[in-house]
Amino acid sequence: MPVQFEQFDKVMSVTETDSPLRMLIVEDSEDDAMLLLRELRKGGIDPYSEMVDSEDRLRRSLREGKWDILITDHNMPGFSSFRVLELAKQYSADLPVIIVSGTIGEGVAVTAMKAGAQDYIMKDNLSRLIPAINREVREGTVRKAKRVAETTLEYMAFHDSLTGLVNRREFERRLKMALDDTHHRGGQHVLLYLDLDQFKIVNDTCGHIAGDHLLKQLATVLSKHIRSNDTLARLGGDEFGILLHGCDGFYARKVAKKLCEEVREFRFVWQKKPFAITLSIGMVLISNEYAKAKASELLSHADLACYAAKDRGRDNVQLYQSSDQDMQQRRNDMHWTSRIQQALENDNFCLWKQDIVALQPEAADGYRTEFLVRLQEENEIIPPGAFIPAAERFGLMTKIDRKVIEMAFRYLDRTGLGRERTGTFFVNLSGSSFNDPELFLYISELADRHDLNPERVCFEITETSAIANLDVTQQFISFSKTRGFKFALDDFGAGMSSFSYLKALQVDYLKVDGGFVRNLLTDPIDLGIVDACNRIGHAAGLKTVAEFVETDEIRDRLVELGLDYAQGYGISRPKPLN
């Protein structure tokens, strides 16, 4: 920390300072003390001084005053310089001590220096006193600054810089100690994992400065409701952790509910705009079940319980239970999250395709196929049903969509199919991708780079996603169709009340939900729904595609109903791109 010390290097002597030197004199002879002060004044130092002659008075002076230097005699009745050094170290570790004595021998002086004295001077030779004081005051100041810097660095290593709370690293260390206590001594402890439900709203509407103020205020609110031997930590972002020492689940739940209540009643105001904040809390009982666990596993389980609390309405407390199916699913999803991110980094996604065939002669106007994403790990091909739910839950679908678009466009460029006069290639888009403001620009630039005819590409969106984000979907489709891209509404019919939305969506194809197509030969209601979807699609000027066509009999019935295209295992099974 050289910058911090620079200011102290300029203090060449105590005579150059504006404030008087504060000197504590330990001496049982007032005459000797006066001689010492007279010598200092002759050298230009006029200190503020206090003389003490007993251990009790020395303790009080060290405890109550701030001293620049301590001058002590060696031998006093029942009181020696060695005891002075002990007390000085106890009350003020950086205070320099100089022994001024008329009886100290060389051996004793060396021992005193080893015990912490900075220097020793004989009373009959005080010429060295002023240079010694100048030197030790300067070095004492440097020592103090260094110690403060080291203390600050140590504090920063274990505390959050924004809130002053314990940080994640130190919290995990204390969790490990709690685990050891439970395993070896049967101690009872509980972990609470807290997440703010409305933090993103504050950050997005008011900025990160407001978010930081909210976190600092909440740290104060939370601190008021835990015991002094418990640990409150900021784990990162808007997440906090609490380790409740020596308590059972009943008490911990009471504490957690009280925290939810306090935060619910708390009102954060920023620039006269109030915000209501709530907490979702996950709770883990630290028991022998975790005897061989790491702190990270405890935090992971608490995180799962916290997300379960959010899923179940927010502003509540959820205990982690390994038998809970929702938590098992979320744990599986979290496992998939890291695999998906790794697959994106390592280009482990690949494309398959499934052909779509014409059912009517007038519809046979070119080749049609749908691109399907797969995850390839070594020699294993993993279908989308295994990883898509996790990707949707943890916000990774937009990245996967971009990867699929990139691979599809590259394939169409390499094969030349993207520049043919006919043919349609279907590419799926998830609902979350419509919230990506840069997706349209990304698609346009990619199409230009690969010299594609946009009319060869048809983006598929599910009916439920389109309706859930209707305004955003309309805008995206409108922009894309100006470039010539086509659109298909997938899983159509799953929400029959949404037929009216067809007027608002500029799509080219309706893909009838395969759940109705599969049973249309045996279920008259499913048959009626498929027929209705086809009629409404044609009335709107759209082409219709039946999904999940698995037998020739279903295909023949679809021909009779007048659907334009069919897709399914009875038509063509998915296969990898060449």
- Tens of pLDDT along the chain (578 residues) come to 333 333 333 444 555 555 788 899 999 888 888 988 988 888 888 888 999 988 889 999 998 888 889 999 988 877 888 899 999 888 888 889 998 887 777 777 788 888 888 888 888 778 888 888 888 888 877 777 777 776 666 667 788 888 989 889 899 999 999 999 888 888 889 999 999 988 888 887 888 899 999 999 999 999 998 898 999 999 988 999 999 999 999 999 999 999 999 999 998 999 888 888 899 999 999 988 787 778 888 888 898 888 888 877 889 999 988 766 666 666 666 678 888 999 999 999 999 999 999 999 998 888 999 999 999 988 889 999 888 888 887 789 999 999 999 999 999 999 999 999 999 999 999 988 887 889 999 999 999 999 999 999 999 998 777 777 788 888 899 999 999 999 999 988 765 545 667 778 899 999 999 999 999 999 999 999 999 999 999 999 999 999 999 999 999 999 999 999 999 999 999 999 87
Helix (H) or strand (E) holding 348: none
CA atoms of 93 and 410, how far apart (whole Å) = 70
CA atoms of 422 and 358, how far apart (whole Å) = 14
For 112-121, letters b (16+ CB in 10 Å) and e give: beeebbbbbb
331, burial (CB in 10 Å: exposed 0-12, middle 13-18, buried 19+): middle
pLDDT score of 392 = 84
CA atoms of 559 and 543, how far apart (whole Å) = 13
pLDDT score of 260 = 94
Dihedral of the alpha carbons of 72, 85, 143, 156, in degrees to the nearest 10: -140
**Cα Rg of the chain (Å, integer):** 38
Residues contacting 148, CB < 8 A, separation 6+:
none
Judged by DSSP in three states, 98 sits in strand
CA atoms of 423 and 402, how far apart (whole Å) = 22
Q: How far is CA 274 from CA 196, 203, 259, 473, in A?
A: 16, 13, 20, 32
pLDDT score of 11 = 41
Judged by DSSP in three states, 101 sits in strand
What domains does the chain contain, in order, with CATH numbers? 2-156 (3.40.50.2300), 168-322 (3.30.70.270), 344-576 (3.20.20.450)
Q: How far is CA 419 from CA 416, 424, 446, 503, in A?
A: 6, 11, 14, 31
Judged by DSSP in three states, 457 sits in strand
Helix (H) or strand (E) holding 61: helix 55-64
- Nearest Cα to Cα of residue 336 among 394, 405, 407, 402: 394
Residues 341/396, Cβ–Cβ less than 8 Å: yes
Question: In 10 A of CB 335, how many CB atoms?
Answer: 11
Residues contacting 534, CB < 8 A, separation 6+:
510, 512, 544, 561, 562, 563
Residue type, 353: K
The predicted model scores a pTM of: 0.56
Q: DSSP letter for 494, please.
A: S
Residue recorded with tokens 């969106």: 461
Residues 232/240, Cβ–Cβ less than 8 Å: yes
Residue type, 467: I
Q: Which two tokens stand for residue 226?
A: 């835990």
Map 212-261 to HEC letters.
Answer: HHHHHHHHHHHHCCCCCCCEEEEEECCEEEEEEECCCHHHHHHHHHHHHH
Residues 434/476, Cβ–Cβ less than 8 Å: yes
Question: In 10 A of CB 501, how many CB atoms?
Answer: 16
Judged by DSSP in three states, 6 sits in helix
Q: How many CA atoms lie within 13 A of 315 on its CB side?
A: 10
pLDDT score of 1 = 34
Cα of first residue to Cα of last residue in the chain, in angstroms, is 62
